[in-house]
């Protein structure tokens, strides 16, 4: 901590002590505000220059600016809805003006007064009285807006939200998107459910899990990588339309589109297949865009994206062919040779399905800019999806790609317990060979399938990536309130705390 900052902190603590010495509680319990900043701007918009409203109003918020050191002072008070200018005079407030004069930017106060319009045309509240609601002990940053060191903004998101309205707007839109999706599904007869976050075994997606340990049961547990297998158990149990929106955890790298924990929605509908789910996916995203943005022609990172439906549908094999990689009808050896020629490393250790997926990841996905369904994937990389009804070695699966990012993944769900058991066995072999992302042999899930699961379409949508697209944010960190960061030394647990946690 710099000497300059230390001195500023000391000054604020001195002011805190001064308030207490005067018998003022710098951290009171409650305050009743009659109006918000946004409501003032709306309700009193017709007041003319020099006029003052008769009605007294009370507001509460954070003091964001303050100018004037004599017997009068202007400032801006910020609440959840925005900012309003305030004006305080010694001849109005009286003896309390000495306390008001010593307020710091960042202090939270309640004010009472009358609204008027200044000569410059700005609606302003003339302060008749004020109450200290929280003394800020840390100065607001002077040059935080537009700060290039985004890491600092992510670490201190509370400051970022405080001083950057556009950042706050992103998270307001995020909440609205989530709420809208919930309502959309509920209106279509879907039931929201909750399933465990702690799993006895990993499953539901190809990803490396986080592991933990339950002391009382003396057993390992996994933070869920997907809720899929539990939700399909509910379909077996008789629920025909269910969804779950929540966090999943994957022990993978961090990038502009990856965070160790993130939000997804998984949706399952009995008596539907992946064609039905494609239509549902379009409807969900189009509805969200139309409601939140008012248009289907959006901009993402300077690029125009048109969400008007129907969206392009193309098989994975045809998408590769469009890039000059023709694997249709080729033998496994030929596909391996093509991959090697294209620079895919470790082909001798990969199954042919993973090789095809690697070719797709390397040469296709990033170039898919407009909404595109990549359909019909290799069976090897889709152990929970139903075999394609007419294409050997493939499954009825799609991924939705927008702006080079996968936003959704969906199947005609595999409901043949014998086929599923065989797929799990092959996954177990891959796991034994060192593939940490392979599915586990889930005997209870197989038992559930043996009771009978109706034909089902399942869908998973990455909420964070959808919000990125709809709010034009370049990184997943910009749509997560508190993205994962490597902690600074002062934020890490002490050696003593580590010892306690390890016991």
Q: Supply the mean pLDDT for the chain.
A: 92
What's the pLDDT at 348? 79
What's the pLDDT at 494? 59
pLDDT band of residue 332 (cuts 50, 70, 90) is very high
Fold exhibited by the domain 163-311+370-502: BirA Bifunctional Protein; domain 2 (3.30.930)
Between residues 322 and 69, the one the model is more confident about: 322
230-249 per-position pLDDT tens digit:
999 999 999 999 999 999 99
Phi and psi for 256 in degrees, rounded to 5? -65, -15
What share of the chain in percent tops pLDDT 90? Answer: 82
Exposure on the CB side of residue 235, measured as CA atoms within 13 A: 31
Average pLDDT over residues 340-361: 89
With tokens 């918020």, the residue in question is: 61
What's the pLDDT at 48? 94
Q: Which residue, 71, 133, 60, is CA-closest to 101?
A: 71
What's the pLDDT at 146? 55
CA distances from 53 to 43, 44, 127 (A): 10, 8, 13
Checking if the pLDDT of 433 tops 80, the result is: no
Average pLDDT over residues 204-221: 87
Considering only 86-95, 162-171, 251-260, 485-494, which range has the smallest mean pLDDT? 485-494
406-424 per-position pLDDT tens digit:
999 999 999 999 999 999 8
Average pLDDT over residues 195-223: 88
For 3-140, CATH gives 2.40.50.140
Asked whether residue 399 is marked as a ligand-binding residue, the answer is: yes
Checking if the pLDDT of 434 tops 50, the result is: yes
Asked whether residue 291 is marked as a ligand-binding residue, the answer is: no
301: left (phi over 0), alpha (psi -120 to 50) or beta: left
Write down the pTM of the prediction.
Answer: 0.90
What's the pLDDT at 501? 44
pLDDT band of residue 2 (cuts 50, 70, 90) is low
Collect all residues with Cβ–Cβ distance below 8 Å to 490 and sequence separation of at least 6. Answer: none
Cα–Cα distance, 209 to 199 (Å, whole number): 10
Collect all residues with Cβ–Cβ distance below 8 Å to 261 and sequence separation of at least 6. Answer: 247, 248, 249, 250, 484
Checking if the pLDDT of 290 tops 90, the result is: yes
Between residues 77 and 493, the one the model is more confident about: 77
What share of the chain in percent tops pLDDT 70? Answer: 93
134-180 per-position pLDDT tens digit:
999 999 887 666 555 678 889 999 999 999 999 999 999 999 999 99
pLDDT band of residue 203 (cuts 50, 70, 90) is confident
């Amino acid at each position: 901590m710099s000497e300059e900052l230390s001195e500023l902190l000391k000054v604020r603590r001195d002011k805190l002590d001064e308030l207490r010495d005067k018998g003022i509680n710098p951290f009171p319990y409650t305050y009743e505000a009659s109006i918000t900043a946004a409501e003032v701007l709306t309700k009193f918009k017709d007041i003319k220059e020099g006029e003052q409203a008769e009605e007294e109003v009370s507001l509460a918020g954070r003091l964001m600016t303050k100018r004037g050191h004599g017997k009068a002072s202007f400032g801006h008070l910020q609440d959840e809805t925005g900012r309003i200018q305030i004006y305080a005079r010694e001849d109005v407030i009286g003896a309390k003006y000495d306390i008001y004069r010593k307020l710091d930017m960042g202090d939270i106060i309640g004010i009472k007064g009358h609204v008027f319009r200044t000569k410059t045309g700005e609606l302003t509240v003339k302060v008749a009285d004020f109450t200290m609601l929280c003394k800020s002990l840390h100065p607001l940053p002077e040059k935080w807006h537009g700060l290039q060191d985004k890491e600092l903004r992510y670490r201190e998101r509370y400051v970022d939200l405080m001083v950057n309205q556009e950042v706050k707007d992103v998270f307001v839109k995020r909440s609205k998107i989530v709420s809208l999706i919930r309502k959309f599904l509920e209106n279509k007869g879907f039931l929201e459910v909750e399933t465990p976050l702690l799993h006895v075994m990993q499953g539901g997606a190809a990803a490396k899990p986080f592991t933990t340990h339950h002391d009382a049961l003396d057993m390992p547990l996994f933070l869920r990588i997907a809720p899929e297998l539990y939700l399909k158990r509910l379909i077996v149990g008789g629920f025909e339309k269910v969804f779950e929106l929540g966090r999943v955890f994957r022990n993978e790298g961090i990038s502009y589109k990856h965070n160790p924990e993130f939000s997804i929605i998984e949706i399952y509908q009995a008596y539907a297949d992946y064609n039905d789910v494609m239509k549902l996916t379009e409807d969900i995203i189009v509805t969200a865009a139309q409601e939140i943005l008012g248009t289907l022609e959006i901009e993402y990172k300077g690029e125009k994206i048109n969400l008007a439906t129907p969206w392009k549908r193309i098989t994975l094999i045809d998408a590769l062919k469009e890039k000059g990689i023709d694997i249709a009808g080729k033998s496994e050896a030929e596909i391996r040779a093509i991959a090697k020629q294209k620079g895919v490393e470790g082909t001798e250790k990969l199954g042919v399905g993973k090789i095809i997926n690697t070719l797709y990841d390397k040469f296709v996905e990033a170039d898919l800019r407009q909404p595109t369904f990549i359909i019909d994937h290799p069976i090897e990389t889709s152990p929970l999806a139903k075999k394609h009804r007419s294409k050997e070695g493939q499954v009825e699966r799609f991924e939705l790609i927008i702006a080079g990012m996968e936003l959704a993944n969906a199947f005609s769900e595999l409901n043949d317990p014998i086929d599923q058991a065989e797929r799990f066995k092959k996954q177990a072999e891959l796991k034994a060979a060192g593939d940490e992302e392979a599915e586990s042999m889930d005997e209870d899930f197989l038992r559930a399938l043996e009771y009978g699961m109706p034909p089902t379409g399942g869908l998973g949508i990455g909420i964070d990536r959808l919000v990125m697209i709809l709010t034009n944010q370049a990184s997943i960190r910009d749509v997560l309130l508190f993205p994962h960061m490597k902690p600074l030394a002062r934020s890490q647990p002490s050696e003593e705390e580590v010892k306690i946690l390890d016991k």
